[in-house]
A and B are shown apart, each in its own frame.
Chain A
Amino acid sequence: MAKLYINPLPVRLWHWANAVLFIVLVVTGVQIRYLDLFDFMSFRNAVVVHNWVAFALIGNFFVWLLFYLFSDKNKAYHPEFNLLKLARACFAQMQYYGWGIFKGEHSPHHMDPYNKFNPLQRMLYQILMLFLLPLQFVTGILMWDIKRFSGFVDMVGGVRVVDTIHVLIFIFFVFYLLIHPYLATLGHTPTAHIRAMITGYEDVEEEAPSAVQATQATTA
């Protein structure tokens, strides 16, 4: 096992701040939307906290954005234009998570500081960071002061359209917040990826054959 510096300090700070702010936004968002089901804070307080935390999250987004804009490590977010190659890599990754992982196979993705995401992660984070999150910011800001932005709100079809987009992304984020921590436990040990996001260093397997691959090689 070799130690590779995968997650630089700004990324780690951004990630954990993002996680905390995300959770607060989901909790306050649920309280705002489901006042009939939950009562852990008043509606007004939930709205006020939601607004302030949301602006903090937007500010935090720029930590991520500025780091990757000026870092050569932004290759991790570069899109793959060879669709066939992308499809094959995604399929291999899905095959690993859906089957190979149970048999002790190694992930088909080999991590390095310039290519830290597997193909599925890379695609997801491109959509998440460059489309869904900014869209959530825009819809949130529009609803923060509907009257001020009424011209734009009307242009896109009205406040209900804006809210529906905001809620659809929220639903996706709820799903993401459940899936993401579980996937984080699928490293070579359950805490490997989580520790990497704290220390910055990821244990990376050196080019040794995996258990199954080794067995297959021996039997052949």
Chain B
Amino acid sequence: MTRFRISQAAADLPRRGRAQAVLGAALALALTLFLGAPAAAAVSKDTALSSEDKVCLDCHAKPGLRKTLASGESMPLYIAPNGFAESVHSASGCEGCHSDIDVKAHSKEPSVVKSRREHSQGLMETCRDCHKKTMKQYEDSVHSAQVQAGSAKAPLCSDCHDPHATRSAKDKTGGDNVACQQCHKGVSQAFAASIHGASGDEALACKDCHRTHNIKAAAMGDHLKDQCVSCHREVATSHAQWLPNTARHLEAISCPACHSPGTTRRVNLRIYEGTAAAQQAAEKVGVPQFVKLASSVDPTGSGIDGRALWSLLQDFSRDGSDARTIVRGRLEVQTGIESHSLAAKGKALKDCATCHKQGAASFQKVTVSMAGPDGRPLRHGATDGILNSVESIGSVGGFYTIGSSRIKLLDVMLVMALAAGILVPGGHLVVKLMSARKRKAAIAEAAKSNEPTDRS
């Protein structure tokens, strides 16, 4: 209350003249001495606001100030003076972001604002003026791609940052996950109960793994695995102590697939461009090739089989560049909630049979995916047999799991080889035994008939 009075008095500075300013300052000084140090701090911050800002706050510091928008929403116009004074943006002043406002006409000619979201989206261009690098990162994110695609939920700058109370990035005040929780509620709850979320002061924040502005779709690429390894640097050596082909396992299996107990897994056959490409083949924005081709090779919607996938890859190779389109497989968890339910190391899966036994649950669900226009994967279901058919040699050449994705035709050939290996010698032996008497007789007769010859 005291501080508000002071700021209001200070806001009137230009109009009342120097004498009144001196009087105001004297009053402030007197109050400071009277109320003590906390008030002194508040006053010093508040008085940091420019006189122009204080003019704005004449109206905008009224808590009930709101505006009804064309969408019918009621947008609060209240700006907490303290918060703003303490924010890093106070240095730029109101005009720093709201330069489009004509002070004289403001509040006299009501401006038309369609919706809060449109208003916030429009003001993001202002953010870019100072935060060029950050905006570039944001525009490279899955959130920005969703905004571009017309999402009404994907976060804008102001959904995570209150522009009128933005603290310095160095000022870690906690509550980092709050903004994420607004949309990712289930994931946040699972994370809070996980080993990383329930470790008190050591608990991680969303941004520790997902970064802040350049957030990528979690199911794409290997960036999240890299985040795991950035802390768990001993991963390769610790797994190599018991896990054969460690590097391959770490490459083809997502961490939660083993470290989230009781999770449901699936095989994700990711489509890549070229054999040496590190990135997933990205679909051109606005050209829903994948959806179109996947529908054409799987008209009944029962899932893509080995032959259909091969045909799909051929179509991609024809349509695309010179690089060959290939498939790389990855074992991953089915939901984001499962990927956040990481448990302590001792509870991690160590039983090879979970994946290497034919009929393993982990291999019963198979999807074919490709990077979509918004950076998230586009998925199409695959048939159960896609990993076990002979066509998989051509279509899923880059993915094979001993035992569980073995080709059935090879099993048939093994049985035939076993049968032939037993029946051929067995049959030969039987004929040999049956002909033994006749053969002995022939040999005896030969020996007899040879005798005179030998004597001679």
Contact = CB atoms under 8 A, between A and B. Distances in A.
A53 interface: no
A154 B276 contact: yes
| Contact-size category for A | 35 or more
A212 interface: yes
B442 A104 contact: yes
B169 interface: no
Contacts of B276: 151, 154
A179 B420 CA distance: 9
Given A51-B244, A175-B420, A212 B442 contact: yes
A155 B446 CA distance: 63
Given A160-B396, A214-B446, A44 B418 contact: no
Interface in B395-443: 396-400, 402-403, 406-407, 410, 413-414, 417-418, 420-422, 424-425, 428-429, 431-432, 435, 438-440, 442-443
A174 B397 contact: no
A211 B442 contact: yes
A101 B431 CA distance: 10
A161 B421 contact: no
Contacts of B425: 178-179, 182-183
A178 B421 contact: yes
Nearest to A218: B449
Nearest to A181: B425
B359 interface: yes
A58 interface: no
Contact of B403 (A33, A144, A164, A175): A33
A155 B417 contact: no
Given A35-B357, A174-B418, A145 B396 contact: no
A178 B422 contact: yes
B353 interface: yes
Contacts of A86: none
Given A103-B439, A155-B275, A178-B425, A214 B356 contact: no
A101 B429 CA distance: 11
Interface residues of B, number: 53
Contacts of A174: 414, 417-418, 421
Given A32-B402, A33-B403, A101-B432, A154 B446 contact: no
Nearest to A154: B275
Contacts of A177: 421
A147 B357 CA distance: 22
A160 B442 contact: no
Given A104-B442, A164-B410, A215-B442, A159 B399 contact: yes
Nearest to B242: A44
Nearest to A146: B248
Contact of A167 (B275, B392, B410, B453): B410
B245 interface: yes
Q: Which label, helix, strand, loop or mixed, suits the secondary structure of the A interface? A: helix
Interface string A159-186: 1110110011011101111110011000
A86 to B, nearest CB: 23
B245 to A, nearest CB: 6
Given A146-B248, A174-B417, A175-B417, A35 B398 contact: no
B393 interface: yes
B267 to A, nearest CB: 13
B231 interface: no
Given A103-B435, A144-B245, A178-B422, A171 B417 contact: yes
A191 interface: no
Interface of A: 32-36, 42-44, 47-48, 51, 97, 101-104, 143-148, 151, 154-155, 157-161, 163-164, 167-168, 170-172, 174-179, 182-183, 209-212, 214-215, 218
Interface of B: 242, 244-245, 247-248, 251, 275-276, 326, 352-353, 356-359, 392-394, 396-400, 402-403, 406-407, 410, 413-414, 417-418, 420-422, 424-425, 428-429, 431-432, 435, 438-440, 442-443, 445-447, 449-450, 453
9 contacts: A33-B406, A34-B403, A101-B432, A146-B248, A159-B397, A167-B407, A178-B425, A183-B425, A218-B449
